[in-house]
Chain A
């Protein structure tokens, strides 16, 4: 039982990092990203491939985060000068094409079988309570990220991002470099998704393309919107809400006998989609609405 909770909490933390990343893009800056799972996958695969080649964890982590940020900047540079609709389309396209790449380039990614036996960092020293140790490390990372993003939110830079979100033209007239800031915010969000991917890959020590489907992106959107877009605490709370939701629906099959196999999966995805739409229509501000900041 305790192991079950440790596992759930680990996934909550990973989703919290994903959700914080999307919060920088959508919550702070108003940039839509429908391919969040793509950056998550870039992080997971880069770190896993490099780790299998024997590189140390710190190195694989840095490389993975940088590569995810690089992909983020490239997509943002391509599309952000145009209408924002294009970012929605291009990000979704990116994550799907990336999944095709992961499936087909077997020489690099292992194809549909994925990558197995990804080394778990410093496993040999602490094999006994490894999962608990991993959760602690992840918590420290999450707290540091939270503190960093709170500082960012309260800083003049954060204020500028919100200004861009609320009225791009006014921000530009006030002399802010709107395009550059958007590219930066988008890349930062992508980097965070990459970081989440690193922790995901080394926790499971196994990754495959079917873990990086668009459903993950939808899940993160549900988490962020439920928790409170624009609010870092909300983004983290949303990850708890989402995982509780997903875990509780897992037991639906015990009550409704026809729900087996693909039917249960379908019902859960329908519920996630429904939850997203209802949140968007009726409670866009989430459980923890964005805090108003008094700038004195």
Chain B
């Protein structure tokens, strides 16, 4: 039982690492645009399939496919923002939330149209997992976790020290003041859309390596991503990471008692509990985004 518990904890850390990037992206976008973007889920799907095309169809090695996917997903995010969200900047945020659902339907079905509903996987050499004292971990999973951690740190540094990060925080904190100070808010939205979709696309490959690639791979994670962002106190990219690990951990450990099919119900349950008892999130907020 002890070993088994450790295994679940480890799995929790791994899924937290995968959830963290989309949760950061969701929080960044929410901070700037002020609506819950449901299209985040399909950016995962898009990332998974773009990497599939690069890796399997074109035969590129995974690291190269990874970079290509991030670049292309960024453009996808910008394209979606320009075509679907930009004409509606002045509307009620909820109208945009509905539009984002429409976007996610379109993207998911474009993937379905091209690749169908089958489960797919990347061309990866089969590697032996490592094992210490009954706890197993795959080499790919370790790399995923490491890459994800690097990106988390990078985003934090970007937000804290770079000019872009400071402008993003300024727009999130007070758009009016930011524009008075001469910050070009459309430019910030453009770059945040790129960054958010690129990070989420990266998570898409991770999901694809860890499980499988299919048109619903992103939508299935949307509740967990929202749960992570809400636990982190919606709109904060720093605490979203904490939220992601918390949700990942809770989902995996709950598998000790619950059938695996109910995994995403854990995320939902946590959303409801947090909303009822701690609507500002689990952590004390110190800064915007």
Contact = CB atoms under 8 A, between A and B. Distances in A.
Contacts of A96: 223, 264, 268
Interface in B205-262: 219, 222-223, 226, 230, 234, 259, 261-262
Nearest to A32: B94
Contacts of A30: 92, 94
Pick the most buried of B98, B116, B219, B230: most chain A CB atoms within 10 A of its CB: B98
A277 B84 CA distance: 7
A103 B262 CA distance: 10
Nearest to A104: B261
Interface string A32-73: 101000000000000000000000000000000000000000
B268 A85 contact: no
B32 to A, nearest CB: 14
B102 interface: yes
B94 A281 contact: no
Interface in A172-213: none
Given A86-B275, A93-B268, A97-B268, A218 B101 contact: yes
Given A93-B226, A218-B105, A262 B117 contact: yes
Interface string B2-15: 00000000000000
Nearest to A284: B95
Contact of A34 (B98, B267, B276, B279): B98
A221 interface: yes
Given A82-B279, A284-B95, A89 B36 contact: yes
Given A32-B98, A88-B36, A280-B99, A269 B93 contact: no
Interface string A17-33: 00000000000001010
Dominant secondary structure of chain B at its interface with chain A: helix
Contacts of B93: 85
A202 B93 CA distance: 38
A276 B101 CA distance: 9
Nearest to B223: A93
B265 A82 contact: no
A96 B109 CA distance: 18
A40 B94 CA distance: 22
Nearest to A87: B94
B288 interface: no
B112 interface: yes
Given A103-B261, A104-B259, A93 B109 contact: no
B198 to A, nearest CB: 23
A100 interface: yes
A104 B260 CA distance: 11
B113 interface: yes
Nearest to B111: A266
Contacts of A86: 230, 275
Contact of A78 (B101, B116, B262, B276): B276
B142 interface: no
A270 B109 contact: yes
A218 B99 CA distance: 10
B113 A97 contact: no
B134 to A, nearest CB: 30
B99 A277 contact: yes
A270 B264 CA distance: 26
Given A78-B276, A82-B279, A266-B113, A97 B105 contact: no
Given A89-B36, A92-B38, A263-B113, A273 B94 contact: no
A90 B88 contact: no
Contact of A89 (B92, B95, B117, B226): B226
A79 interface: yes
Pick the most buried of B93, B102, B234, B276: most chain A CB atoms within 10 A of its CB: B102
B236 to A, nearest CB: 14
Interface string A139-161: 00000000000000000000000
25 contacts: A32-B97, A32-B98, A82-B275, A85-B35, A85-B94, A85-B234, A88-B36, A94-B268, A96-B268, A100-B262, A103-B261, A104-B259, A218-B102, A262-B112, A262-B117, A267-B109, A273-B105, A276-B98, A276-B102, A276-B105, A277-B84, A280-B88, A281-B84, A281-B87, A281-B99
Interface of B: 35-36, 38, 84, 87-88, 91-95, 97-99, 101-106, 108-110, 112-113, 116-117, 219, 222-223, 226, 230, 234, 259, 261-262, 264-265, 267-268, 271-272, 275-276, 279
Per CB-CB distance, the 10 closest pairs between chain A and chain B, nearest first, are A273-B105, A266-B113, A273-B106, A276-B102, A266-B109, A93-B268, A266-B112, A273-B102, A269-B109, A277-B102
